[in-house]
Amino acid sequence: MSNSAWTMNRREAVTRISSAAIAGGLGLLGVAATDQLKADEPKATKRKRVIVAGGGIGGLCCAYELMEKGHDVTVLEASGRPGGHVKTIHDSLPDGLYADVGAEHFTKPGYDQYWKYVNKFQLPAIPYPRRQNMLRRIDGQWYTEEKLQDRTVLGGFGFKPHEIDYIVQHGWTELPLLYLGKYLDAFEDEYQPFGVGLDALDEMTAGELLVKDGASDAALRFNGVRRGDGSPAARNGEVSALFRLWQQAIVKRRGLPVFKREVYRLQGGNQLLTDTFAAKLGSRLRLGCPIASIAHGPMSVTVTFQEYGSPQTLEADYLVSCIPLGILKKIPITPAWPEEKAYVLSNVQFGSQSRVLLQSRTPFWKKELPSINLETGDSAMYLVYETADEVPGDRSILMGSGKPDVTADEAMAAFKSFYPGKSHTLEQAYVHNWSKDPWAFSCERHAFGLGTLKKFWPHIMAPVGRIHFAGSFADNLPWGMDAATRSANRTAEAIDRL
């Protein structure tokens, strides 16, 4: 008998003995002893060499987990800074103020993996009241949350009586569940949208489903769906009913409301976490190293990249690609991507936006408005809220999101035009345009098109040979830091088990 065969037989024997002890003596051993038995079982893993391509939060998190599991990790980040879309700015702002111009918040409940690191590294998480007491501008008029639960106001929008009853009872933001809720329990596995009896709905738009179920025009409009030329169509393209239901089912399974009001941020900026990952990784993180080509085979993966202006080559057992897909599809690979992955790379769509900052000498709105949390309907600055409010002093930063090409002057003019108060003390506007970033120009993944879910899922997250994928794009619900840390942990665990 060979040494390897003896090892496997011994491992199997230990596993069987441990399993028998757990099954037969659970009441005697107790949970703690049971957990110790599992921990004492020999691991079927060996030290692996892993290249992580991309030093955003997904890549840094995955590399950290692999390092913690004892593997040899190298992170190649194309830009000169780690963090990707997690970026906190300080230098351009006065009086100790700061702003997260990329990933801006995390929720509770939700973001389970993210909170794991917040607690492990003892990072200062603070409530972020940017979604409390919202003021919404609809058809040029401002409405408080109380007004949007007023039966007369809701009737004026054209809601049906039973829709009004639902909004009054559950709130304006939970309206989608009136029509979608009855389908959601069919999805028992949040990573499997198919085979639950609803596959045909991938050929029906979300709007068509709402119409079939009796939704009013107002319900279509405020569910993100508008009726046009007599037929419903989902905003941002023909989003299928199956996709919309699946995404909402994931939210429900995680115990989250439709609109997540309880959100948090890291005091001092969310970049604290990515900087912590980078510090833990140390010299394993190499900046300014864009990948030029990839070659993969049955036993290894080799990447060529530029470092200090010179070509370099690195070979490893596995590659974890956290490269934005818009960049990855342009990198030569040998052999070529399989058909399913090639389709994903050619057809997946991502959004982009700008972060708009307005610097104010005083918190002027506090004398005029019940809240500065505004949903404006203006593409130049369609959200407004305060950030870094814990920093002492009168100067304040208002922050929001705008279209990718918005200018500082346009954002300032837009705010002055829609601000519901009478005065302001704005000093300057600042725009961070992500679409101009050569290495992080895309943001969250768009919905998959009508009838295409099977072409994208699960291929967008599935490994190809020894190449694995992590990042916000590589999870079922592509919510920034949540999806990035979830996919990073899943990928690190998969490689560790191989």
pLDDT, one tens digit per residue, over 439-476 is 999 888 999 989 999 999 999 999 999 999 999 999 99
CA 469 to chain centre: 15
**CA-to-CA distance for 455 and 459, rounded, in angstroms?**
7
Whose CA is closest to 180, among 253, 110, 250, 249?
Answer: 249
Are 395 and 95 spatial neighbours (Cβ–Cβ below 8 Å)? Answer: yes
pLDDT of residue 227: 42
Token pair, residue 495, equals: 């490689």
pLDDT of residue 330: 97
Tokens 């079927």 belong to which residue?
44
Residues of the chain with pLDDT under 50: 1-42, 226-237
- Name which CATH class applies to 88-131+262-267+351-436: alpha beta
**CA-to-CA distance for 7 and 21, rounded, in angstroms?**
21
Token pair, residue 31, equals: 């949970």
**CA-to-CA distance for 327 and 440, rounded, in angstroms?**
9
**CA-to-CA distance for 485 and 27, rounded, in angstroms?**
36
Locate the domains of the chain by residue range.
Answer: 49-83+268-350+442-497, 88-131+262-267+351-436, 135-253
Are 378 and 412 spatial neighbours (Cβ–Cβ below 8 Å)? Answer: no
Token pair, residue 73, equals: 């990790």
pLDDT of residue 437: 94
pLDDT of residue 43: 52
Beta-sheet strand order (sheet of 426-433): 141-143, 135-138, 374-375, 383-387, 396-402, 354-360, 426-433
The pLDDT tens digits for 137-172 are 999 999 999 999 999 999 999 999 999 999 999 999
Whose CA is closest to 193, among 240, 155, 153?
Answer: 240
For residue 286, count other CB atoms closer than 10 A to its CB.
16
For residue 454, count other CB atoms closer than 10 A to its CB.
15
Are 270 and 355 spatial neighbours (Cβ–Cβ below 8 Å)? Answer: no
Beta-sheet strand order (sheet of 318-321): 285-286, 72-76, 49-53, 318-321, 467-469
Q: Could you name the CATH architecture of 49-83+268-350+442-497?
A: 3-Layer(bba) Sandwich (3.50)
pLDDT of residue 5: 31
pLDDT of residue 238: 72
Instruction: Name residues whose C-beta falls within 8 Å of residue 461's C-beta, 6 or more positions apart in sequence.
Output: 469, 474, 475, 476, 487
**CA-to-CA distance for 491 and 495, rounded, in angstroms?**
6
pLDDT of residue 326: 96
The pLDDT tens digits for 268-313 are 999 999 999 999 999 999 999 999 999 999 999 999 999 999 999 9
CA 85 to chain centre: 10
Return the half-sphere exposure (C-beta side, CA atoms, 13 A cut-off) of residue 31: 0
Token pair, residue 452, equals: 């295409």
Please say whether the dihedral angle defined by the alpha carbons of residues 144, 145, 148 and 152, taken in this order, is positive or negative.
Answer: negative
**CA-to-CA distance for 409 and 411, rounded, in angstroms?**
5
Residues counted in the chain: 498
Whose CA is closest to 180, among 109, 93, 251?
Answer: 251
Q: SS3 string of the chain?
A: CCHHHHHHHHHHHHHHHHHHHHHHHHHHHHHHHHHHHHHHCCCCCCCCEEEEECCEHHHHHHHHHHHHCCCEEEEECCCCCCECCCCEECCCCCCCCCEECCCCCEECCCCHHHHHHHHHCCCCEEECHHHCCCEEEECCEEECCCHHHCHHHHHHHCCCHHHHHHHHHHCHHHCHHHHHHHHHHHCCCCCCCCCCCCHHHHHCEHHHHHHHCCCCHHHHHHCCEEEECCEEEECCCCEEHHHHHHHHHHHHHCCCCCCCCCEEEECCCCHHHHHHHHHHHHHHEECCCCEEEEEECCCCEEEEEEECCEEEEEEECEEEECCCHHHHCCCCEECCCCHHHHHHHHHCCECCCEEEEEEECCCHHHHCCCCCCEECCCCCCCEEEEECCCCCCCCEEEEEEECCCCCHHHHHHHHHHHCCCCCCCEEEEEEEEHHHCCCCCCCCECCCECCCHHHHCCCCCCCECCEEECCHHHCCCCCHHHHHHHHHHHHHHHHHHC
Given its phi and psi angles, is residue 404 left (phi above 0), alpha (psi -120 to 50 degrees) or beta? alpha
**CA-to-CA distance for 286 and 23, rounded, in angstroms?**
48
